[in-house]
Amino acid sequence: MNASDLKERTFRFGLRVIRLCESMPESRTGRAIANQLIRCGTSVGANYRTAARAKSTRDFIAKLCIVEEECDEAIYWIEMAVASGCAKQELVAELLDEAGQLLAITVASIRTAKEREKE
């Protein structure tokens, strides 16, 4: 997978998060979870794009660490949406899987970049 593919995946992930949030109930809980999830879910792609334009390896790693945090937070809020009844597990299963894959890719990229930085 190259940087362009990952840019596209993180962008599509953000769009899917937006669609999920738009389908949540207009309750206090639904709005609160949707607001948090939109922020972190769309931040994954935005911060990945920033990382792709990093000025140095150290800058790249720092920005990817933000992607990692935002992706992990998105997973948390999707799980919270299911647990609170704002979303159905079967409707978010693929989105959770994608978030997990993006998180794993990001962690592996950070690890690789750190190893290269040592060379």
Single pTM value for the model: 0.93
| pLDDT, tens digit (0-9, with 9 covering 90-100), for 76-86 | 999 999 999 99
User: Per-residue pLDDT for 39 more than 90?
Assistant: yes
104: Cα within 13 Å, side-chain hemisphere: 7
Domain at 3-118: CATH code: 1.20.1440.60
- Mean pLDDT of the region 71-77: 98
Q: pLDDT value at position 3? A: 80
pLDDT band at residue 70, thresholds of 50, 70 and 90? very high
Q: What are the residue boundaries of the structural domains of the chain, listed by start?
A: 3-118
Which residues, at least 6 apart from 25, have a Cβ–Cβ distance to it below 8 Å? 86
Evaluate if residue 119 carries a pLDDT over 80.
Answer: no
